[in-house]
Amino acid sequence: MTDAAHAAMWERLDLDLEAHDALLAVLGKFYGDIYLSQQGRLKGAEYLDFVLSEVHGLRIREIQEAKAAGKKVVGTFCVFVPEELTLAAGCVQVGLCAGAKAGTELAETLVPRNTCDLIKSFVGFKLARLCPYIESCDLVVGETTCDGKKKAYEAFGELANMHVMEVPQCKGPCDLALFRSEIGRYKEALEKLTGKAVTAEALAEATRRVNAKRRALQRLGRLRAADPAPISGRDALLVNQISFYDDPDRFTAKVNELCDEMETRIARGEGVAPKGTPRLLLAGCPMAVPNWKLPYLIESSGAVIVGEESCIGERNSRDLTDETPADLEAMLDALAERYMKIDCACFTPNAERLEHIAALAKELGADGVVHYGLLFCQPYAHEALKVGKAMEAAGLPYLAIETDYGMEDAGQLKTRIEAFVETLA
Amino acid sequence: MTECAGLDIGSRSIEVVVVRGGEVLSRRRAPTTFDPLSQVRALFPDGPPPRLAVTGYGRQLALTLFPEARTITEIKAHAIGAASLFPEAATLLDIGGQDTKAVALLPGGRVGRFEMNDRCAAGTGKFLEYTATAFGLSVADFAALALGGSDPPEISSMCTVFAETEATTLMARGVGQADIALGLHKAIVARTVAMLRRVGLRAPLAFVGGVAKNPCAVRLVAEAVGFSPLVPDEPDMTGALGAALWLAKTPS
């Protein structure tokens, strides 16, 4: 694909071409510094490099071709949107990443200044006309996981065709019933969008496809228990990030290939860092593309990340959807049950998250836990304190970091992370 | 035994301590300025010592001059330095030019839990320097002025810039300069003590870094924690000392 063809496509999507070129240039440089500089990378990481280099190119082309063939495109911000249903409706689902500062001043005309960078980012990308995914969407699905997002969706809804799912804040029987009805409502929204009914056969097939993707990610997660670590935390994060926008079946195949290579590497006792390198579990807020700041700081401070307890990480692949129900209503029940297992910080209480972190750290042989809170993300800021107490009880060294998409705190963060790693060595 | 030098490149000042074994041979310092590498070169007129450890925010920068040098974080360096001066210390407070660190010390000067201010300069030496300048005073004279205060107003601003605005408002309201100066000192000590409590403050407390030279800060820390901190003669040398001592124990 030539640059000119890409540019013509971006122009048709009404992107701000000059600003978009600048964004891609920064992204390319950032990727080179953080990813291509890594030593001993897996050969299968070529897939990651290719997908990322064509993140606004070939993947958008595929999506445009799917649209031309009559498919609808659904954009999401959160792991509560059931991908099974989107695929069963014959739609393409893409995660709208929101991991970079873009259009911040414009965004601050629609959301308060003391809003987290993730929200400002998706509003900013839309207002600054920088994201070909948002511009390709026929429907954008929001969810009520935090006050910042739910109010931002009110403003965003004036810019895009939106459907907002209500996510309960507790986990009692009535909450499950509420989310079950929200799944029904989402199904109706999809049927209205496509003009076709979602069938049991289509949902069964879509559930198998999404579970296959989750199984591949689970396999990758388990392989990271090996010492030396067979994959860097940065690359594993990228795999999880790509899972939100690449074609699901291609992604599953490629991740399984990556796992095959990791198994060979583990059998040979090889890895990306010497055996005995301090191993850290990263917990907390999701890191959307290209929010690689903290993993890079950690992995350039003499440690290796062995897991991501995050929505763009283990939380998204931990639970499978039950494939046994045969009729549509029972399948929708199974979806509600699967999604209500998510231990998002929006729930109260959310004790299972603390147990999951300690268990995951143990399974992966982590020497410590780093908690990442995005500045102004109140649910995770509260849980950072609770996780700290839980890790103390579990005997796991713990470092809580609160930061945003800016780079001005990189020096101080590096000192804190290096000092934490020094205490583990 | 080889000489080992510790170099601490901070935001405001650069210190060098040279040790042989556990014995300190020399100490030197220079302001950081906007050209820290020239300042570092001037501190080593005869070239770098055979073994060098660098700490402080300029530690990576120094590797461009001395690629063979080792680096450690200022948190670990201060812990080792403080433990060598006060082996009984259980908690460490370091207030430097742009960072404040509270560290729970484990036996042998190892680092336990620690806290460090994030990007903001509130609660650091920079805050005192900035507010002293607003009073038209040196930091030493500003501390002396504050020691004469008796009824400090509460400075509630978390921000260095807004604290000045708040101080100006207080002056316009007729609050005495000494009281305002004392209030500004109290503001940074309050932030600092909160950090100490988060790491689990235990006596004895070693207080190091440039701000430990400020008698008003030392008095207020003592009042806030309920006991007198241990302050070395040259508190700003602690990081360089720790780096040198760490290197002396690290095989080359």
pLDDT of residue B22: 86
Residues of B in contact with A402 (CB under 8 A): 118
Per the CATH hierarchy, to which homologous superfamily does domain B1-86+235-252 belong?
A: ATPase, nucleotide binding domain (3.30.420.40)
Q: The domain B90-231: what is its CATH number? A: 3.30.420.40
Judge contact between A131 and A96, C-beta under 8 A: yes
CA-based nearest residue in chain A for residue B119: A409
> How far is B74 from chain A, CA to nearest CA, in Å?
7
User: CB under 8 Å, gap of 24 or more: what pairs does A41-44 form?
Assistant: A41/A232, A41/A235, A41/A272, A42/A230, A42/A231, A42/A235, A42/A258, A42/A261, A42/A262, A42/A265, A43/A261, A44/A254, A44/A257, A44/A258, A44/A261
Q: Is the entire prediction scored with pTM above 0.95?
A: no
DSSP states along A223-292: HTTSSS-SS-HHHHHHHHHHTTTS-HHHHHHHHHHHHHHHHHHHHTT--SS-TT--EEEEEES---TT--
pLDDT of residue A79: 97
- pLDDT (mean) for A253-277: 97
**For chain A, which residues lie within 8 Å of any Cβ of chain B, measuring from their own Cβ?**
402-403, 408-409, 411-412, 415-416, 418-420, 422-423
Picking from B118, B159, B195, B198 by the largest number of A CB atoms within 10 A of its own CB, the best residue to mutate is: B118
Amino acid at B117: N
pLDDT of residue A2: 65
pLDDT of residue B158: 66
CA-based nearest residue in chain B for residue A411: B57
CA-based nearest residue in chain B for residue A418: B73
Would you give the DSSP letter of residue A168? Answer: P
Measure the CA–CA gap between A246 and A51, rounded to whole angstroms: 8
pLDDT above 60: residue B232:
yes
Measure the CA–CA gap between B100 and B214, rounded to whole angstroms: 15
- Coil vs helix vs strand at B52: strand
**Percent of chain A scoring above 90 in pLDDT:** 97
Residue B133 in tokens = 């300048």
Measure the CA–CA gap between B25 and B4, rounded to whole angstroms: 10
- pLDDT (mean) for A184-190: 98
CATH number of A228-320+344-424, picked from 1.10.10.410, 3.40.50.11900, 3.40.190.80, 3.40.50.720? 3.40.50.11900
* Tens-place pLDDT, residues B186-227: 988 998 999 999 999 999 999 999 999 999 999 999 999 999
**Subunit contact B76:A422, Cβ cutoff 8 A:** yes
pLDDT above 90: residue B42:
yes
- State how far the alpha carbon of A107 is from the alpha carbons of A104, A142, A333, in Å: 5, 17, 38
Same topology, domains B1-86+235-252 and B90-231? Answer is yes
pLDDT above 90: residue B117:
no
pLDDT of residue A59: 96
**Percent of chain B scoring above 90 in pLDDT:** 76
pLDDT of residue A278: 98
Residues of B in contact with A415 (CB under 8 A): 57, 73-75, 99, 116
Judge contact between B207 and B16, C-beta under 8 A: no
Residues of B in contact with A419 (CB under 8 A): 73-76, 111, 114, 116
**Subunit contact A415:B119, Cβ cutoff 8 A:** no
* Tens-place pLDDT, residues A333-389: 999 999 999 999 999 999 999 999 999 999 999 999 999 999 999 999 999 999 999
- State how far the alpha carbon of B105 is from the alpha carbons of A336, A400, B56, B83, B109, in Å: 49, 19, 19, 8, 6
**Look-up: residue for tokens 């040279």?**
B18
Measure the CA–CA gap between B202 and A209, rounded to whole angstroms: 56
CA-based nearest residue in chain B for residue A408: B119
pLDDT above 60: residue A1:
no
Residues of A in contact with B57 (CB under 8 A): 411, 415
pLDDT of residue A156: 96
Measure the CA–CA gap between A265 and A40, rounded to whole angstroms: 11
Per DSSP bridges, beta strands B205-208 and B3-9 are unpaired
Residue B79 in tokens = 């812990």
pLDDT above 90: residue B47:
no
Beta bridge partners of A282: A308, A370
- pLDDT (mean) for B83-100: 95
Judge contact between A116 and A374, C-beta under 8 A: yes
pLDDT of residue B130: 87
Residues of B in contact with A408 (CB under 8 A): 119
* Tens-place pLDDT, residues A95-124: 998 999 999 999 999 999 999 999 999 999
Amino acid at B48: P
* Tens-place pLDDT, residues B118-169: 767 677 888 888 889 989 999 999 999 999 999 999 887 767 777 778 888 8
**Subunit contact B118:A418, Cβ cutoff 8 A:** no
Measure the CA–CA gap between A243 and B97, rounded to whole angstroms: 44
Domain boundaries, chain A: 228-320+344-424
* Tens-place pLDDT, residues A53-83: 999 999 999 999 999 999 999 999 999 999 9
- pLDDT (mean) for A217-239: 98
Judge contact between B192 and B128, C-beta under 8 A: no
Closest CA to A269 of A229, A304, A237: A229
Measure the CA–CA gap between A306 and A361, rounded to whole angstroms: 9
Domain boundaries, chain B: 1-86+235-252, 90-231
Average pLDDT, chain B: 92
**Look-up: residue for tokens 């511009």?**
A135
Residues of B in contact with A403 (CB under 8 A): 118
**For chain B, which residues lie within 8 Å of any Cβ of chain A, measuring from their own Cβ?**
57, 72-76, 99, 110-112, 114, 116-119
- pLDDT (mean) for A317-343: 98
- pLDDT (mean) for B49-70: 94
